[in-house]
């Protein structure tokens, strides 16, 4: 599929960043000669342990800091130019927002920075708040009263206010409960369905595995590997067979059959579900009135297709 | 004496330019420099950002600043200030109702100014560093917001907050003053009813009851004031001996003059020659005493310097020979060394002319060293002091010249088109407590202060009189018996220079630091060119006169409008403060930004306050005070001090002048703020504020906003 996308969303060439101290001496080499290309319409994962340079990469792409060497371009414009900000959404590591504003006011403020007309904002803001799952009461509260998860949700909403083509998410699931995490992942998938490009930074491997097509792993500022998630994770010399309702006798028979074929080291177990799936199931079953509808259930709704000029 | 003299003169001689980059800077220079900086900075660093500028984003950012301030309850400081003003206003015990209201006005404006400046500095200095520190800036600069919009938005936002504070304080000021005035006028009315019909207080009470206490007027000031012995008439101006009167003549040497003088100093002699009419009269009691004290009747050779010894000379009116004392001053009105050996100058005898109606002359020989100094300076002043009591000296157009025997006299050049090259003598008297001293004389023959009003626009509004405001200081000389406590008296004569009509003497009673209004029929000021001649009538008293002592009320104005102008000037000041604060906060942490903001704001004013100490040559005086044994040490201290002083003066020339924001001075006196003052505030905002705004933008653009 990636082969069919011919345009680049992000192009990074030999990007390096050395943080200097007050006197201009080198302090930390946070990013070292990173080169990669993100295609339009894909969900790209930037993986790596804490302090490996993920946030640094994103800050460089956004012009928040300036590269020591190398260059980057976004949607055909050099990184950091104000023009492309019209088409970008950014969710920072933590939700850095005005804590004295309410959720609604926050979105209105950011909307105004995009020169979105007032009428359109009045329509778009509630939809967006629905999408990220902030209930009507919470929207009127000041951000300083928000829990971390709620702040994360409003942060995501402000990143989507302009219906962006490229969305940069820095550790989007930190602070979210498992439902929130799942909703976030569903949202990312629905964004992908709308043809948007997503750059996802995370150290939570499960997040990345579930939504990303291609990933790169950073370690100490250097790129370690790059490729399709499926290819990277595939263990080539192990074959897995899954069936339903086999009796122990049948299992024994199967084992003998495999031994006859000369296949050794056969392991037969019952698959366990992930804790996340279990949690989800329990919460869903117990909640009479579920929280907000999962985002994935209403793809194309909300922020999507809202007729913003310049949207694809 | 030297410094007080210099101070006294500086009003009429020094030129103040807002940005004194060069000696000959034009008043437009700051505007031009500012415009170049603004346009250059914007075009060079952010042409696309200028094109992308959008009011909606700017307004959104400014609204955030405002919302933040409001939600942090910044406006709660206003009730505190209001309470403070009311307490202070209640505690103060002013002299009369008018003072009470004016003081209250001043308190209110002062409180507003303090409040607004402090809030503006703190809010604007802390904002940007905090947003960078807590990274809210991340979500702003990653939107299509340019950094120019951020800077402008922030400045606008805090200017909005200042505006709100000013508005609240303004409404309070108006309401409070209105209430207080009403209450006081009601009180005055009852007082007026109770006062006996012949009470001297009645006119004042009547005036306040009818005119109210919030009266505001447009005022015109005289062009200059000089002190003479007689009213100026004809080509000759007179000064009286023994009363501290003198005149000053500026000299400017041409290259040819310099050469002539240099040669003459080497071979021959150089003189200062003064040519004056001299008239002497029999001294009265006071003058006789002065003559005796000065020892003027003894032969010159037997006189000693310093305090005169008691003499045994026969009593009775005796007229001493006329003398003047001459001193040569440099451009900052300091005496050249070698020229002021005797306090007021070197004593010169006036030779009696053969023809009694002709002028006498006196000659002062200059030492070769002094001539060299004068040639080096090129420009200098000659001060001629009238010394002998019971003597009047009359000066015509050119009373002083440089004289080299065998060569034509060197007169100061006259260039009527350039007032600073006007070589006509200017008459002064030595300053006392409240300005130049004007000696009182019961017969009205004392010294005269002549105020020149020129091109004054008088709006009579149909009235047949206009009001002159006299604001004098009364000084008592030693032998005046204060216990007699009689009112002082003075007399004014207004002469219309267009029609030549004179009002004749108008008597009034001046009081120290109190404005005495004096009604004058319109015809004497019609046309706007007139002189006001002032004399004291109380013997043993000096009136202190300054340029500001006499003014003409040209129109009555509304107080509300005046308050609005004052508050607008205050808002402009707060705008400048905000810009400076935002500028500092773009590259400094907030505590240092606060300090730097205050330094920038007060630097110019502070250097002005140091005044004389930083003048060229101040280092020598400072070094001498240390009394070093070693000459080289003295030189080091002197040079170091001068270097520091000139550096400070240089830096301060680039700093904004907060005195260009006259929030209080006029309104406090009940004077309508002239539009030029609003203009000068606008000018300061333009010349300093906008370039700083552009600098802030440039810095922020080059800045990594991630901490
Ligand atoms: N402003 C800074 N000054 C100095 N070092 C920094 C700065 N920001 C990040 N670093 C360093 O750069 C490295 C990469 O940081 P970052 O990109 O934030 O990592 P992460 O992958 O966890 O997002 C870390 O070692 C961090 O300490
Ligand atoms: Mg990070």
Domain boundaries, chain B: 2-13+28-189+559-608+655-702, 235-424, 433-557
Which of A52-66, B189-203, B676-690 has the lowest average pLDDT? B189-203
| Interval B358-386 mean pLDDT | 88
B672 vs B612, which has greater pLDDT? Answer: B672
| Interval B123-141 mean pLDDT | 92
* Closest Cα in chain B, distance from residue A60 (Å): 10
Query: For ligand 1, what atom is nearest to the CA of residue B707?
Result: 1
CA-based nearest residue in chain B for residue A98: B136
pLDDT tens column, B187-201: 888 988 888 877 777
A53 lines ligand 1 (CB under 6 A): yes
A184 vs B319, which has greater pLDDT? Answer: A184
Q: What percent of chain B has pLDDT over 70?
A: 87
CA-based nearest residue in chain A for residue B69: A100
Nearest in space to B402 (alpha carbons), one of B235, B239, B250, B237? B250
State the burial class of residue B539 (Cβ atoms within 10 Å of its Cβ: 0-12, 13-18, 19+).
Answer: middle
Q: d(Cα B211, Cα B670) in Å, to the nearest integer? A: 12
State the CATH architecture for A5-233: 3-Layer(aba) Sandwich (3.40)
Contact A66 B704 (CB under 8 A): yes
Element (H, E) at B86: helix B77-91
Which residues numbered 38-77 in B keep a CB inside 8 Å of some CB on A? 48-49, 52, 54, 56-57, 59-61, 63-64, 67-68, 71-72
Mutate to test the pocket of ligand 1, among A15, A17, A18, A19 (most ligand atoms within 8 A of CB): A19
Whether the pLDDT of residue B305 is over 50: the answer is: no
Contact B139 A112 (CB under 8 A): no
Q: d(Cα A17, Cα A56) in Å, to the nearest integer? A: 8
Mutate to test the pocket of ligand 1, among A55, A68, A199 (most ligand atoms within 8 A of CB): A55
| Interval B243-259 mean pLDDT | 88
Hey, what's the torsion of the CAs at A170, A176, A180, A181, to 10 degrees? 60
Nearest in space to A217 (alpha carbons), one of A2, A57, A109? A57
pLDDT bucket at A28, cuts 50 / 70 / 90:
confident
Using the structure block, give the residue that is written with the tokens 């409180």.
B111
A27 lines ligand 1 (CB under 6 A): yes
> How much distance in Å is there from the Cα of B147 to the middle of ligand 2?
25
Q: d(Cα A101, Cα A92) in Å, to the nearest integer? A: 18
Q: d(Cα A261, Cα A297) in Å, to the nearest integer? A: 46
B696 vs B625, which has greater pLDDT? Answer: B696
A92 lines ligand 1 (CB under 6 A): no
Whether the pLDDT of residue A225 is over 60: the answer is: yes
A216 lines ligand 1 (CB under 6 A): no
Query: For ligand 1, what atom is nearest to the CA of residue A65?
Result: 1
| φ, ψ dihedrals at A51, nearest 5° | 75, 20
Where along chain A do its domains lie?
A: 5-233, 244-312
Q: d(Cα A197, Cα A211) in Å, to the nearest integer? A: 12
CA-based nearest residue in chain B for residue A59: B706
pLDDT at A7: 79
Whether the pLDDT of residue B16 is over 50: the answer is: no
Q: d(Cα B232, Cα B224) in Å, to the nearest integer? A: 14
CATH class of the structural domain B433-557: mainly beta
Which of A125-129, B7-11, B115-119, B481-485 has the lowest average pLDDT? B7-11
Supply the mean pLDDT for chain A: 82
pLDDT tens column, B323-354: 899 988 888 777 877 666 556 778 888 887 77
Q: Computed over its alpha carbons, how large is the radius of gyration of chain A?
A: 22
Whether the pLDDT of residue B14 is over 60: the answer is: no
Chain A residues near residue B137 by CB distance under 8 angstroms? 96
Whether the pLDDT of residue A186 is over 70: the answer is: yes
End-to-end CA distance of chain B: 59
Whether the pLDDT of residue B356 is over 80: the answer is: no
Whether the pLDDT of residue B307 is over 80: the answer is: no
Q: d(Cα A256, Cα B567) in Å, to the nearest integer? A: 98
> How much distance in Å is there from the Cα of B294 to the middle of ligand 1?
87
Chain B residues near residue A100 by CB distance under 8 angstroms? 67-68, 71-72
Both tokens of A146, joined, read: 């928000």
Mutation site, A92, A113, A152, interface B, largest B CB count within 10 A: A113
Q: What percent of chain B has pLDDT over 90?
A: 30
pLDDT at B339: 66
* Closest Cα in chain B, distance from residue A113 (Å): 5
State the pairing for strand pair B541-545/B448-453.
unpaired
Q: d(Cα B100, Cα B86) in Å, to the nearest integer? A: 12
> Looking at residue B307, what DSSP letter applies?
S
**Helix-helix angle B368-377:B255-267, to 10 degrees:** 170
Nearest in space to B109 (alpha carbons), one of B166, B44, B62? B166
Supply the mean pLDDT for chain B: 83
Whether the pLDDT of residue A120 is over 90: the answer is: yes
Nearest in space to A223 (alpha carbons), one of A44, A94, A88, A84? A44
Distance of CA A307 to the CA centre of its chain: 24
> How crowded is residue A124: how many other Cβ atoms within 10 Å of its Cβ?
25
- For residues A152 and A174, the answer to whether their CB atoms sit within 8 Å is yes
Helix H segments across B452-589? 559-585
A51 lines ligand 1 (CB under 6 A): yes
CA nearest ligand 1 atom 27, residue: A51
Helix (H, G, I), strand (E, B) or coil at B678: helix
| Interval B652-680 mean pLDDT | 85
b/e code B213-249 from CB counts within 10 Å (16+ = b): bbbbbbbbebeebbbbbbebeeebbbbbbbbbbbbbb
Whether the pLDDT of residue B138 is over 80: the answer is: yes
pLDDT at A191: 92
Q: d(Cα B128, Cα B154) in Å, to the nearest integer? A: 9
pLDDT tens column, B442-479: 887 889 999 999 988 887 777 788 888 888 888 776 55
pLDDT tens column, A58-96: 999 999 999 999 999 998 889 888 889 999 999 998 878
Of B61, B136, B705, the CB nearest to A64: B705
Helix H segments across B351-478? 368-377
| Interval A155-179 mean pLDDT | 91
Sheet containing B541-545: which strands, arranged edge to edge?
B431-432, B435-439, B541-545, B473-476
pLDDT tens column, B551-600: 888 877 888 999 999 999 999 999 999 999 999 999 999 999 999 999 99
Helix (H, G, I), strand (E, B) or coil at B615: coil
Whether the pLDDT of residue B494 is over 50: the answer is: yes
> How crowded is residue A195: how many other Cβ atoms within 10 Å of its Cβ?
11
Q: d(Cα B172, Cα B590) in Å, to the nearest integer? A: 32
Which of A106-115, B521-530, B646-655 has the lowest average pLDDT? B646-655
């Amino acid at each position: 599929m990636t082969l069919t996308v011919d345009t680049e969303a992000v192009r990074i060439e030999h990007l390096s960043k050395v943080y200097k101290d007050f006197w201009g001496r080198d302090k930390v080499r946070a990013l070292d000669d990173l080169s990669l290309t993100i295609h339009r319409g894909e969900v790209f994962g930037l993986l790596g342990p804490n302090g490996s340079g993920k946030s640094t990469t994103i800050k460089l792409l956004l012009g928040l800091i300036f590269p020591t060497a190398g260059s980057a371009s976004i949607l055909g414009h050099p990184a950091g130019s104000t023009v492309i900000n019209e088409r970008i959404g950014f969710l920072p590591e933590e939700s850095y927002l005005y804590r004295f504003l309410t959720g609604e006011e926050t979105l209105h403020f950011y909307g105004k920075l995009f020169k979105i007309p007032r009428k359109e904002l009045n329509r778009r803001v509630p939809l967006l708040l629905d999408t990220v799952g902030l209930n009507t009461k919470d929207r009127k509260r000041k951000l300083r009263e928000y829990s971390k998860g709620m702040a994360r949700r409003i942060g995501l909403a402000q990143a989507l206010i302009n219906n962006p083509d490229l969305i940069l998410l820095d550790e989007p699931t930190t602070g979210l409960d498992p439902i929130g995490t799942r909703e976030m992942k569903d949202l990312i998938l629905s964004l992908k369905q709308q043809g948007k490009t997503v750059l996802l930074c995370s150290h939570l491997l499960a997040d990345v595995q579930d939504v990303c097509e291609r990933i790169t792993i950073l370690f100490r500022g250097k790129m370690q590997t790059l490729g399709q998630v499926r290819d990277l994770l595939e263990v080539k010399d192990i074959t897995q067979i899954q069936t339903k309702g086999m009796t122990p006798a049948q299992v024994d028979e199967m084992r003998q059959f495999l031994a006859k074929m000369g296949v050794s080291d056969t392991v037969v177990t019952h698959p366990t579900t992930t804790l996340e799936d279990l949690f989800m199931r329990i919460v869903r079953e117990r909640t009479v009135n579920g929280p907000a509808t999962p985002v994935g259930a209403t793809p194309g709704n909300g922020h999507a297709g809202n007729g913003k000029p310049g949207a694809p | 004496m030297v410094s007080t003299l210099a101070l006294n003169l500086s009003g009429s001689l020094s030129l103040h330019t807002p940005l004194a980059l060069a000696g000959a800077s034009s008043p437009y220079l700051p505007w031009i420099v500012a415009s170049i900086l603004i346009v250059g900075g914007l075009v060079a660093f952010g042409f696309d950002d200028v094109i992308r500028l959008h009011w909606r984003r700017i307004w959104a950012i400014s609204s955030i600043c405002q919302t933040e301030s409001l939600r942090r309850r910044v406006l709660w400081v206003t009730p505190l200030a209001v309470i403070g003003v009311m307490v202070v206003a209640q505690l103060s015990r002013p002299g009369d109702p008018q003072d009470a209201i004016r003081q209250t006005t001043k308190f209110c404006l002062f409180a507003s100014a303090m409040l607004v400046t402090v809030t503006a500095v703190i809010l604007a200095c802390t904002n940007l560093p905090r947003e960078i520190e807590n990274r809210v800036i991340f979500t702003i600069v990653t939107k299509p917001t340019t950094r120019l919009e951020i800077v402008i938005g922030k400045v606008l936002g805090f200017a909005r907050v200042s505006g709100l504070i000013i508005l609240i304080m303004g409404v309070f000021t108006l309401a409070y003053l209105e209430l207080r005035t009403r209450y006081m006028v009601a009180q005055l009315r009852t007082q007026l009813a109770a006062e006996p019909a012949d009470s001297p207080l009645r006119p004042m009470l009547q005036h306040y009851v009818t005119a109210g206490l919030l009266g505001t007027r447009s005022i015109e000031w005289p062009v200059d004031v000089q002190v003479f012995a007689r009213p100026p008439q004809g080509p000759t101006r007179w000064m009286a001996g023994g009363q501290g009167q003198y005149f000053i003549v500026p000299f400017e040497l041409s290259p040819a003059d310099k050469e002539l003088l240099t040669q003459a100093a080497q071979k021959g002699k150089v003189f200062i020659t003064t040519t004056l009419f001299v008239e002497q009269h029999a001294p009265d009691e006071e003058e006789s005493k002065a003559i005796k004290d000065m020892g003027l009747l003894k032969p010159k050779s037997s006189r000693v310097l310093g305090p005169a010894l008691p003499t045994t000379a026969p009593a009775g009116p005796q007229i001493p020979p006329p003398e003047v004392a001459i001193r040569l001053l440099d451009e900052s009105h300091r005496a050249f060394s070698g020229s002021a050996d005797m306090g007021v100058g070197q004593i010169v005898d006036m030779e009696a002319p053969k023809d009694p109606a002709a002028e006498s002359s006196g000659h002062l020989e200059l030492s070769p060293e002094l001539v060299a100094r004068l040639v080096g300076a090129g420009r200098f002043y000659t001060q001629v002091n009238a010394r002998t009591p019971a003597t009047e000296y009359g000066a015509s157009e050119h009373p002083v010249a440089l004289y080299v025997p065998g060569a034509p006299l060197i007169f100061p050049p006259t260039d009527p088109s350039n007032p600073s090259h006007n070589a006509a003598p200017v008459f002064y008297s030595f300053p006392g407590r409240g300005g130049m001293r004007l000696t009182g004389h019961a017969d009205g023959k004392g010294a005269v202060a002549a105020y020149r009003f020129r091109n004054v626009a008088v709006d009579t509004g149909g009235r047949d009189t206009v009001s002159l405001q006299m604001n004098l200081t009364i000084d008592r000389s030693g032998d005046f018996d204060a216990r007699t406590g009689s009112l002082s008296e003075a007399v004014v004569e207004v002469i219309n220079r267009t029609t030549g009509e004179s009002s004749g003497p108008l008597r009034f009673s001046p009081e120290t630091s109190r404005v005495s209004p004096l009604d004058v029929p319109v015809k004497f000021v019609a046309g706007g060119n007139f002189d006001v001649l002032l004399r004291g009538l109380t013997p043993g008293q000096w009136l202190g006169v300054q340029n500001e002592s006499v003014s003409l009320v040209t129109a009555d104005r509304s107080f509300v409008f005046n308050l609005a102008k004052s508050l607008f000037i205050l808002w402009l000041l707060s705008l400048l403060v905000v810009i400076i604060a935002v500028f500092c906060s773009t590259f400094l942490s907030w505590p240092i930004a606060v300090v730097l903001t205050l330094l920038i704001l007060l630097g110019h004013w502070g250097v002005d306050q140091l005044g004389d100490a930083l003048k060229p040559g101040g280092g020598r005086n400072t070094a001498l005070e240390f009394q070093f044994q070693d000459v080289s040490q003295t030189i080091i201290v002197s040079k170091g001090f001068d270097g520091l002083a000139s550096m400070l003066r240089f830096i301060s020339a680039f700093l904004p002048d907060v005195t260009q924001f006259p929030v209080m001075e006029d309104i406090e006196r009940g004077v309508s703020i002239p539009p030029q003052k609003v203009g000068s505030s606008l000018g300061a905002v333009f010349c300093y504020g906008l370039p700083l705004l552009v600098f802030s933008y440039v810095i922020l653009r080059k800045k990594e906003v991630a901490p």
